[in-house]
Amino acid sequence: MTVTKATPKFAITTADVSTPENADKVINLTTNRGGADFLIAGGADENKFSLSGTTLTFKATDFEARDDKTYSVEITANRAGTNGGANEHATKTITVTVTDLDDEAPTDIQINDAAFIDDKVVFTNDKGANFLIGTLSATDVDTAAAAMTFTTTSADFKIVNNNELRTKRPITTINTVHIAITASDGTRSIDKVFFIKVVASSQVVLLPEITNTDVSVVENSSTDIPLLTIAHGPTDKPIQYSISGRDKDFFNLKDRVVSFKNSPDYESKPSYSLTLEIKNGFLARDKTITITIINLKEKTISIAADQTMSVNERSQVNTPVGTVATTGIVTGFEITAGNSNNFFKISPTGKIQVAGAGLNYESKQNYTLTVKITDDDAEAKTAQIIIQINRTRGAGTLDERLLAFFITTNNVSTLENTSKVITLAVNAGSATFDITGGDADKFTLNGNKLTFKATALKDGNDATYRINIKATKVFDLHFPLFATDEQTLVVTVTNNPDNDGKFHITTADAFSTPENTNKVITLATNNKDPLMYNVFEIIDGEDANKFTLKGDELTFKATAFKARNNATYRVNIRATKVENNIINFFVEAVEKTLTVTVINPNTVNTNAAKLPSVEDDNTKVTARAVRKESKTASKTLLAKTGKTLRARLSHIRHKNQQKSSFSANGFVSGIQVSFADSQTNSFINRVLSANGLSNVIPISSRKVERWDIWTKAKVVIGKSNGSG
């Protein structure tokens, strides 16, 4: 046995990268197969990238440019098919992470929440070990505050929890000492010396602590409205108030009331740092707080009203269509309507592109998409975008039109669980057709008849399936030799949840299975009534002997692909809706033909329908009886059926007596008797041989109850090809 390794799916193999800040990054684009063309298809930061051939360049960017240090772009690779194969496409999002060079050193080391006298940190000599003097901070534009580290070599003081300055031991000597503190961002560092004054507790009463906390304020607030009032604990000393810190120039201070000089604007500056100070002569305290600005939705962005774009039919995936016109900076879009076939997609920057193959001028000349801005801060949130499809087949000069060869078949739709036969055609003459890609497992092809297999919807929403078809022109003196055309056809499966209310089997009618593998199919109906239950039975079908049924599980018996020429097997299923009570009245019944195709193990995309269909010439003789009567009445019914059947068989034998090989062995089933069984939700079947007809019905070991339901007794005598 030869094992053939599957060809890997076409893919972009370029990995994500990182780059130091303020330096261009050149990225070489690659795929797992050569000969690909690349294009920028979108992405959140596509404006930060440029592309030339296989070279993708990320533009130099400062680490501090924004909080999110990763930038992404969507790249599409297109590769022409070889040896008549379909074109290949792949898309991948590539991410560039900007790393910090740490080119800025920390500045402005401060001891916060401490008491000061003459710009010296002060505490009294009655404090013990581990007394908190204050918390340390520093400013570093390219390092987060939590990433800063503080150290000291002092014999009297220590730094714990990274930024808490505390005493190592009780300090009782009245004196002024100094301490050197180092602030580091991991790469760069600075030192600052602070003077700490120890005073007698009996001589000095320190100022109370400032009690203000961080503040949040809505942007565009009036400057007439006070931002805060400096607050502190009680004291009998006169207090002077002041402000300092990095952003002090943005604020006014009148008495102890702080206000903005100009209305704050979130887009200009989203937060401020301000140090509040209280003083009494040589005594002082301070506290640094943060003022956070709350962003208002100012309706500064909008989407322009109805817009029109165009794109050629048969455009490849990721072909640009156009960019939605807006005002302001919009960072999010979505298509909310008009895109049921999923032909289009939109990027966060408003670029509309082709998302799926199959645009066909003959099927539809324009699409109207409803595009919505997903940002909250929007004046007009939606607009209608009309996309016109440009005709490319059969266009051009008269000579070009006369020589044009193309597939004319349009896209189609079908109800769920309903097969669709599509007739393939070309604009002139005749052609042969082949499936070259797409959802090939959902289709079969026989000549110019393309069949889409009945498919159920998983979530109730429409679904689209695509199939790539290649047409090869049958030799014609008026056309180029071996003229070909390729087209992607789209089948849209639409929702039909209850077949307009009619009771029906919802199980899809086409399945496939690898050879020599059982296929278990769960049968179901649209019956949701708790007072009703479903009973399923195999009633007939060309290949009913290949199937077994237990409850709602239909099993196709494992079969070799080469067991016969036609690898598709058929069975007819009946579902009966029965009232769930003691009497068990029959309500209604429906039938459906299911098919199972055995997959050729030597092919990737099996086209079972291309195989020649062999007509079964066996004579069919089938009878069914399910009766709400006594067992005696059922026997009488089958006895009458048997007499009629024997007479018909005699007639057929007489007609075929000239054929010495004719035998009743050609009759398949004989009489099949079915009794409804509510305990197993199934039917008990018994078969009388066609060559040994008897008026006696074999009785099941399970007791046949009087509630058994008779629907009909049916005898079909003849051949599947209609003769006999």
pLDDT, tens only, 586-632: 667 888 888 898 887 765 433 333 322 223 333 333 334 333 344 55
Sign of CA dihedral 635, 636, 641, 642: positive
Residue 703 binned pLDDT confidence (cut-offs 50, 70, 90): very low
Cα–Cα distance measured from residue 432 to residue 446, given in angstroms and rounded to the nearest whole number: 10
Q: Is the pLDDT of residue 662 over 80?
A: no
- Tell me how far apart the alpha carbons of residues 464 and 344 are, in angstroms, rounded to a whole number: 13
Distance CA(241)–CA(243), nearest Å, equals: 7
SS (HEC) of 279-299: EECCEEEEEEEEEEEECCCCC
**Looking at the domain covering 398-494, what would its CATH class be?**
mainly beta
Q: For 5-28, b where at least 16 C-beta lie within 10 A, e where not — what string? A: eeeeebebebeeeebebeeebebe
337-343: average pLDDT: 86
Longest CA–CA separation in the chain, Å: 138
Residue 117: its pLDDT value, please?
A: 77
Q: How far apart are alpha carbons 391 and 387 in whole angstroms?
A: 13
Which of 148-162, 464-478, 479-493: highest mean pLDDT? 148-162
Q: 107-199: what fold?
A: Immunoglobulin-like (2.60.40)
Each residue of 237-272: b (16+ CB within 10 Å) or e? Answer: eebebebebebeeebebeebebbbeeebebeeeeeb
Report domain extents, the chain.
17-99, 107-199, 215-294, 302-390, 398-494, 618-724
Nearest to 116 by CA among 182, 183, 204: 204
Q: What is the pLDDT of residues 261-311, one digit of tens each?
A: 999 988 788 899 999 999 888 788 889 899 999 988 777 788 888 899 999
DSSP structural state of residue 436: E
Please give the torsion angle defined by the CA atoms of residues 625, 628, 631 and 637, in that order, rounded to the nearest 10 degrees: -40
The number of C-alpha atoms within 13 Å of 604 and in the hemisphere containing its C-beta is: 12
**Rg, C-alpha atoms of the chain:** 42
How many Å apart are CA 434 and CA 202, to the nearest integer?
Answer: 102
Taking the C-alpha atoms of residue 353 and residue 176, their distance in angstroms, rounded to an integer, is: 72
Asked if residues 561 and 520 have their Cβ atoms less than 8 Å apart, the reply is no
Question: Would you tell me how many other CB atoms lie within 10 Å of the CB of residue 318?
Answer: 21
**Contacts by 291-294 with C-beta closer than 8 Å and gap 24+?**
291/214, 291/215, 291/216, 291/217, 291/227, 292/214, 292/215, 292/216, 292/217, 293/216, 293/217, 293/218, 293/219, 293/264, 293/265, 293/266, 293/269, 294/216, 294/217, 294/218, 294/219, 294/266
**What is the Cβ-side half-sphere exposure of residue 101, based on CA atoms within 13 angstroms?**
11
From residue 423, alpha-carbon distances to 364, 445, 662 in Å are 18, 10, 40
Name the pLDDT band for 368 (thresholds 50, 70, 90): very high
Residue 281 token pair: 């002569």
Q: How far is CA 562 from CA 443, 567, 594, 602, 610, in A?
A: 21, 8, 21, 11, 15
Name which of 458-462, 574-578, 689-693 the model is least confident about: 689-693
Distance CA 650, CA 646 (A): 6
Question: Could you give the CA distance from residue 412 to residue 83 in angstroms, rounded to a whole number?
Answer: 29
**What is the bridge-based pairing of β-strands 510-514 and 586-599?**
parallel
CATH number of the structural domain 302-390: 2.60.40.60
Question: Taking CA 144 as the corner, what is the angle to CA 139 and CA 148, rounded to the nearest 5 degrees?
Answer: 70
- For residues 479 and 474, what is the distance between their CA atoms, to the nearest angstrom? 9
Which residue would you say has higher pLDDT here, 686 or 166? 166
Q: Highest mean pLDDT: which of 106-110, 275-279, 284-288, 659-663?
A: 275-279
Query: Which two three-digit tokens encode residue 113?
Result: 């929440």
Two structure tokens written together for 346: 């939109």
CATH superfamily of 17-99: Cadherins (2.60.40.60)
Q: Give yes or no on whether 17-99 and 215-294 have one common fold.
A: yes
Is the confidence at residue 530, as pLDDT, over 60? yes
Of 67, 73, 70, the residue nearest 44 (C-alpha): 73
- How far is the C-alpha of 271 from the C-alpha of 294, rounded, in Å? 9
Encode pLDDT of 392-442 as tens digits.
877 666 666 667 788 888 888 888 777 888 999 888 778 899 999 888 888
pLDDT in tens, 219-235: 989 988 999 999 998 88
Mean pLDDT of the chain: 78
Which residues fall within 8 angstroms of residue 611, CB to CB, at 6 or more apart?
565, 566, 567
CA distance linking residue 503 with residue 513, whole number of Å? 28
pLDDT at residue number 675: 44
How far apart CA 234 and CA 211 sit, in angstroms, is 11
CA–CA gap between residue 95 and residue 28 (Å, rounded): 13
Could you give the CA distance from residue 466 to residue 422 in angstroms, rounded to a whole number? 13
The alpha-helical segments, DSSP class H, found in 371-470 are 398-403
Percent of the chain at pLDDT above 70? Answer: 76
Q: Name every residue whose Cβ is closer than 8 Å to that of residue 422 and which is 6 or more positions away in sequence.
A: 409, 412, 449, 450, 451, 452, 489, 491
Q: Which tokens sit at 398?
A: 């008269």
Torsion region of 162: left, alpha or beta (phi above 0 gives left; psi -120 to 50 gives alpha) = left
Q: Is residue 491 within 8 Å of residue 412, measured between CB atoms? A: yes
* Token digits of residue 456: 């159920």
Q: Residue 431: what residue type?
A: A
Using an 8 Å Cβ cutoff, are 39 and 76 in contact? yes
- CA–CA separation, 696 vs 631, rounded Å? 11
Please provide the CATH number assigned to the domain covering 215-294.
2.60.40.60
- Half-sphere exposure in the Cβ direction for 526 (13 Å, CA): 17
What is the per-residue pLDDT for 14? 93
Q: Which amino acid is at 565?
A: N
Which pair of structure tokens corresponds to residue 714?
A: 């049916």
Q: How far is residue 659's CA from residue 448's CA, in Å, rounded to a whole number?
A: 39
Q: What is the pLDDT of residue 188?
A: 86
Joined together, the tokens standing for residue 105 give 């050193």
